[in-house]
Amino acid sequence: MNIVILGATRGMGRALARAAAARGDTLFLLGRSPDDLARSAADLGARSGRPAPGLAVCDLEAPATFGPALDAAFAALGKVDAVVVTAGLFATQDALEADRALAARVLAVNYTNTVLFCEEARVRLLAAGGGTLCAFSSVAGDRGRKPVGLYGSSKAGLSHYLESLDHRFRAAGLVTLCVKPGFVKTGMTEGLKPPPFAGEPDAVAAEVLAALDARAPLLYTPGIWRLVMLVIRHLPRAVMRKVAF
């Protein structure tokens, strides 16, 4: 598979890129910092023993970079099988409530700009005859919950968009995969107390690759979160108002 990844330098994106490179996929990395991208590209090359992936600067806070970065990726890879977005911003509910500028950034990056990036990718994938568009949303978008209200709302919007994309364009050859990770132990969640069923990035990476291969539209990962969220989605409002999660 030829895969373009936005967010491969950190966390689940890093694990996904490594797992993909290890099984022989060819990658192209997009990200904010040229230096950080170069380090991750070198890492992927050294681990796999193959040439380091190509890279281009693409900043989710700067929509003007989306088109040129994707053009560079499509030109370098020739054929693109999948475009994956693992990048995003996170802040705790307390921090977001206290800082309006931070809230504006998180909402814009996770929703508006991610959608705009996906639109750029969608157009290019469809023009090339199809492929898979995969974005990392979150279980936080499944239900309005006390500790992840603002962050969760950005992911709820993203999940909604991704589902509609899959319905609208699958017949034309574009598969859309919405990945909803539960709590995963990465740099992003560092300092938060891991809840039960907290997962590891490597396990998420393996499941995402399997879902890409299966052309699945939706993935809860690690798998147990499918059941956890099934329960949470069906809890009555009166209960959600009482509980802390």
Where on the chain is the footprint of another protein (CB under 8 A)?
9-11, 14, 39-40, 42-43, 46-47, 49, 186-187, 190-191
Residue 184 DSSP SS3: strand
Quote the least distance from Cβ 187 to another protein, whole Å.
Answer: 5
Q: Which CB sits closer to another protein, 65 or 189? A: 189
In angstroms, what CA-CA distances link 15 with 9, 20, 42, 183, 201? 9, 9, 15, 15, 6
Structure tokens at 127: 């023009």
Instruction: State the Cα–Cα distance between residues 65 and 67, nearest whole angstrom.
Output: 6
Q: What's the half-sphere exposure (Cβ side, CA atoms, 13 Å) at 169?
A: 26
**Rounded to the nearest whole angstrom, what is the least distance from the CB of residue 47 to another protein in the complex?**
5
Q: Which is nearer to another protein, 43 or 120 (CB)?
A: 43
Residue that the structure tokens 């705790």 belong to: 92
By beta-carbon proximity to another protein, the closer residue of 137 and 186 is 186
Which token pair is 3?
Answer: 């895969």
Nearer to another protein, 116 or 188 (CB): 188
109, 65 contact by CB (below 8 A): no
Q: Which two tokens stand for residue 72?
A: 């560079």
Which of 39, 168 has the CB closer to another protein?
39
* Residue 134 CB, nearest approach to another protein (Å): 22
The residue with tokens 């409530």 is 97
CB 14, min distance to another protein, A: 8
Residue 20 CB, shortest distance to another protein, in Å, is 15
Closest contact distance (angstroms) between CB of 9 and another protein is 7
Cα–Cα distance list, 218 to 165, 224, 229 (Å): 12, 14, 13
**Judged by CB, which is closer to another protein: 129, or 187?**
187
